[in-house]
Structure 1
Amino acid sequence: MKSVNTIFCADILDFIDDPAVAGDKAHRYFKQGALVVENGRVAKLGYEKDIMAELSSQDTLAQYHVRRYDNQIIMPGMIDTHIHLPQIEMIGAYGEQLLTWLTEYAFPTEEKFSDEEYASGISNIFLDELLKNGTTTALVFCTVHPQSVNAFFTAAQQRHLRMIAGKVMMDTNCPDELSDTPSSSYQDSKLLIEKWHNTDRLHYAVTPRFAPTSSPEQLVQCQKLLEEYPDVYLHTHLAENHNECEWVKSLYPEATDYLGVYENSGLVRKRSVFAHGIHLSERELDCLAHHQGAISHCPTSNLFLGSGLFNLKACEQHKVNVGMGTDVGAGTSFSLLQTASEAYKIQQLRDEKFSAFKGLYLATLGGARALDLEGTIGNFNQGCEADFIVIDNNATPFLNFRLSHTKTLHEKLFTLMMLGDDRCIKETFILGQSVYQRDLPCDSNQVEECC
């Protein structure tokens, strides 16, 4: 990817802490700001007038290309901490809750990924949709088939993306066509880790689907992989649905609780990300905090499947890192703006507040913290990789009209969070280079040439 030193001039927003901890000091906002990108990384951030004056005094301004986005907002690229590659063709499937939804819709769709050519085609559509929606990093479930991981990572590598993914491990309570064994799941995962983990901007996640579909023997193999490769991720589901929780109790009666199944297998640790976590006890929250595990909050999916209302305040009180996930295809949108809108509604139903600052924090720095990538992505601190988006305040006539009646920064951001979607993403940048422009459709295989 070609690198050009560039100054991006716009209104600029990012976060340096959780608003629940730091309040108004959690975010930085530069009205008429400037973001300086050198060699794909953030070099400077501040007000345009100050940065231009500094570079002029150093007689270096001529070395930079200047791009202007007047009256628009530049933010860090959004981070989706839980999403399923194979489920995009059945997104929005009607009428079921989690366990029936899996057997009726998810599993039959995932069987198609034994075909690597098919998996490659879906991977390209999937990544195009992420970039279109302003998502520049994601933690991704593939399928039980190693070829699904190879197809996904190949497509992500071609786009120079920072992505995390893994082969599903599933040896019980699932269709024969999607079942592996403890031994084969270990061997397949090991080969994929050796091939892809820390290759360019790619990372591997050991991925047992959830406790009901992994035998104790398979969870032992998961632990073995984490011990052999300490910097890989663990990605699974946790306490999403009441019936699921009861099923786990019956399958693992010796475990203290649902998280205890993973804890007993040594899977609760830093870089362990558990999707949902709706129905957690105080003990489980304490355990997550103690072991530095993280939760991916998936509000759209939780509402769509009728799973429950996530207790964000309890996670804040226990100091559990939380990111946000779309959980496509139980989630019904790739947009983390729309996902944050649903998160607001969940907290309303819990009689709790959920500000735009909190929503955008969860979609950026909160996601980076959940993935143990703070300092690499998630904000515009010096040295961070320059993955970012341009949000168009004039994306639609009605949005422009509504924003014209806002008076404060929070009111403006809240309006964008509640009414925004992919149309608000004017442009997406990876390592300082444009890879998606809303008004310039791109061939997914010719991103650099087109953009």
Structure 2
Amino acid sequence: MTRVIKGQTLSFAEYGKAVHESTGAIAIGDDGVILWAGPQALLPQGFAQAEVDDYGDKLVMPGFIDAHIHFPQYRMLAAPGKDLLDWLTRFTFPEESRYADSGYARAAAQVFLSRLFQHGTTSALAFCSVHKICADALFSAADAHGMALVTGKTMMDRNAIPAVEDTPETGARETVELYEKWHGKGRLRYAVTPRFAPTSSDAQLKVSGELLSSLPGALMQTHLSESPREIAFVKELFPWSKDYTDVYDHFGLLSGRSLFAHGIHLSGRERARLSESGSTVVHCPTSNTFLGSGLMSMPRLREKSRPVHLGVATDVGGGTSYSMLATLGEAYKVQMLAGYKPSAHELFAMATRGNAERLKIAHETGALEHGKFADIVVLDPKATPVLASRQELSTSLEDVLFSLMILGDDRAVEATYVRGRKVHERRESHLQCRHPGESLDPALGQHVR
């Protein structure tokens, strides 16, 4: 029942060190766990009869991990807004209200995961809507694929529309019910999810901190310091606070299990407190540029005296692509504008092992190592004519990775495996699937073996 995947293997060890084999192989057991990884020439004889997927000189890597994405916004890419708050009011809240319908949520979950797989993403930290059945639908769909997924129902009790608001009491009760049902089931984990300070009262933020403290192993996800108008609004709502970060700190939401999307406009005091608490800031470059929120500086957050943990994410649907390749390319451009030139190796390491560490799942995914699950993406550096021409000039692995993140998208994803099972392969013809409210849409190459 073993399977061997051959190709040009690339993974990242601790501290981002690349582990690269130009002719590598990965042996996978029938439970989806990697049994062996290394050069093809050293493949043990015990795997000689295994089924082989040979990808030649294509890159075989750990699947991408998206550290911040919104499931109920999967249709909303390219929805225009004057800024973040206008975008939420005009598009996001009405769209998320549809997830009160369980049938709609279940159908959407299938399309959403298919799109992740099409783009080579095998794990994610995802927001759901405020509705409990929305989280149930995503957990159930992810469990069926054996995914490592972290999610939770959104909590917000003000400054939205009634259809997407809860109360501190219902938010707490449903969070506990979902945690008890799904956390630790298969590869699933729960995240306490107050949307952000402007949509939660003091009472709800207090409850969120209590939940984070009382639910073992749960993460916490929210938003922080995304746009100037949002920051000013937070100051109006919480006049007693030192700053935006202090609001979350006051309610016990800073911790080594806390992830804050954006973190663009943080003061030195805020960065120091995030560093001290072990919290993570998740860089979401395509949404930051699309909504005009600002340019997040990685070097500023990595100051040696107060380094803050960093992740990277698409932030669909404020983000403009499901592709982590496109996201890394945009991160490179944003950092160049901020005065820093990251390497492709650095950014790919962030999107795989780095994000696995931030989501507390590095013991099971994020690298091609013995004992981890075979969550894998196969990338074709010559997938398009433009990429193929570009590779004629590549003289190093860095060149190849750099061209993929600047020029690549879902067309560069040859195949995706979750727990050793192929869930997507690129092909010219696709089945068709329909989701309520949508026109016919490709099933995005979903294929199971």
Q: Which interval holds the TM-score relative to the shorter structure?
A: over 0.9
Output the amino acid matched with 1:340.
L
Give the corresponding residue for 1:42: 34
Give the corresponding residue for 2:417: 429
SS in 1 for 2:117: helix
Q: Please tell me whether the aligned partners of residues 115 and 444 of structure 2 are also in contact (alpha carbons under 8 angstroms).
A: no
Q: 1:412 offset after TM fit, Å?
A: 1.1
Q: Please tell me whether the aligned partners of residues 443 and 450 of structure 1 are also in contact (alpha carbons under 8 angstroms).
A: no
Output the amino acid matched with 1:301.
S
Corresponding position: 1:111 with 2:97: yes
Deviations 1:398-420 (CA, angstroms, capped at 9, x unpaired) = 21121122111111110011000
Q: Please tell me whether the aligned partners of residues 159 and 447 of structure 1 are also in contact (alpha carbons under 8 angstroms).
A: no
The whole-number CA distance in structure 2 between the counterparts of 1:384 and 1:287 is: 33
Output the amino acid matched with 2:18.
H
| Structure 1: tracts of 5 or more residues without a match | 20-25
Corresponding position: 1:267 with 2:253: yes
Moved more, 117-126 or 280-289: 280-289
The whole-number CA distance in structure 1 between the counterparts of 2:446 and 2:337 is: 44
TM-score (norm 2): 0.93
The whole-number CA distance in structure 2 between the counterparts of 1:319 and 1:385 is: 30
Give the corresponding residue for 1:250: 236
Corresponding position: 1:76 with 2:57: no
The whole-number CA distance in structure 2 between the counterparts of 1:209 and 1:449 is: 34
Match of 2:364 among 348, 363, 376: 376
Give the corresponding residue for 1:287: 273
The whole-number CA distance in structure 1 between the counterparts of 2:267 and 2:361 is: 27
Give the corresponding residue for 1:325: 313
Corresponding position: 1:33 with 2:24: yes
Deviations 1:261-304 (CA, angstroms, capped at 9, x unpaired) = 11111111122111001111222222222221111110000000
The whole-number CA distance in structure 2 between the counterparts of 1:330 and 1:227 is: 30
Deviations 1:326-374 (CA, angstroms, capped at 9, x unpaired) = 0111101100000011001101111211111122111111111111222
Match of 1:6 among 3, 6, 11: 3
Alignment of 1:132-281 (within 5 A): 132-281=118-267
Output the amino acid matched with 2:421.
Q
Give the corresponding residue for 2:438: none
Q: 1:443 offset after TM fit, Å?
A: 7.5
The whole-number CA distance in structure 1 between the counterparts of 2:51 and 2:23 is: 17
Corresponding position: 1:398 with 2:389: no
Match of 1:312 among 269, 282, 298: 298
Deviations 1:225-246 (CA, angstroms, capped at 9, x unpaired) = 1222121110100000011111
Corresponding position: 1:131 with 2:117: yes
SS in 1 for 2:14: coil
Q: Please tell me whether the aligned partners of residues 295 and 370 of structure 1 are also in contact (alpha carbons under 8 angstroms).
A: no
Corresponding position: 1:413 with 2:410: no
The whole-number CA distance in structure 2 between the counterparts of 1:135 and 1:309 is: 25
Q: 1:447 offset after TM fit, Å?
A: 9.6
Moved more, 33-42 or 419-428: 33-42
Moved more, 438-447 or 355-364: 438-447
Q: Please tell me whether the aligned partners of residues 259 and 281 of structure 2 are also in contact (alpha carbons under 8 angstroms).
A: yes
Q: Please tell me whether the aligned partners of residues 321 and 369 of structure 1 are also in contact (alpha carbons under 8 angstroms).
A: no
Output the amino acid matched with 2:337.
L
Q: 1:441 offset after TM fit, Å?
A: 3.8
| Structure 2: tracts of 5 or more residues without a match | 434-442
SS in 1 for 2:230: helix
Output the amino acid matched with 1:226.
L
Q: 1:101 offset after TM fit, Å?
A: 0.6
Moved more, 100-109 or 431-440: 431-440
Output the amino acid matched with 1:302.
N
The whole-number CA distance in structure 1 between the counterparts of 2:362 and 2:444 is: 30
The whole-number CA distance in structure 1 between the counterparts of 2:313 and 2:446 is: 28
Q: 1:322 offset after TM fit, Å?
A: 1.2
Give the corresponding residue for 2:331: 343
Coordinate RMSD, CA, aligned: 1.8
TM-score (norm 1): 0.93
Give the corresponding residue for 2:343: 355
The whole-number CA distance in structure 1 between the counterparts of 2:361 and 2:47 is: 31
Q: Please tell me whether the aligned partners of residues 12 and 353 of structure 2 are also in contact (alpha carbons under 8 angstroms).
A: yes
The whole-number CA distance in structure 2 between the counterparts of 1:341 and 1:399 is: 14
The whole-number CA distance in structure 1 between the counterparts of 2:74 and 2:277 is: 33
Q: Please tell me whether the aligned partners of residues 79 and 368 of structure 1 are also in contact (alpha carbons under 8 angstroms).
A: yes
Q: Please tell me whether the aligned partners of residues 423 and 447 of structure 2 are also in contact (alpha carbons under 8 angstroms).
A: no
Q: 1:448 to 1:424 in 2, by over 3 A?
A: closer
The whole-number CA distance in structure 2 between the counterparts of 1:389 and 1:344 is: 21
The whole-number CA distance in structure 2 between the counterparts of 1:164 and 1:360 is: 21
Q: Please tell me whether the aligned partners of residues 424 and 446 of structure 2 are also in contact (alpha carbons under 8 angstroms).
A: no
SS in 2 for 1:119: helix
The whole-number CA distance in structure 1 between the counterparts of 2:242 and 2:81 is: 33
Q: 1:141 to 1:446 in 2, by over 3 A?
A: closer
More helix by share: 1
Q: 1:47 offset after TM fit, Å?
A: 1.4
The whole-number CA distance in structure 2 between the counterparts of 1:88 and 1:14 is: 29
The whole-number CA distance in structure 2 between the counterparts of 1:147 and 1:153 is: 10
Output the amino acid matched with 1:237.
H
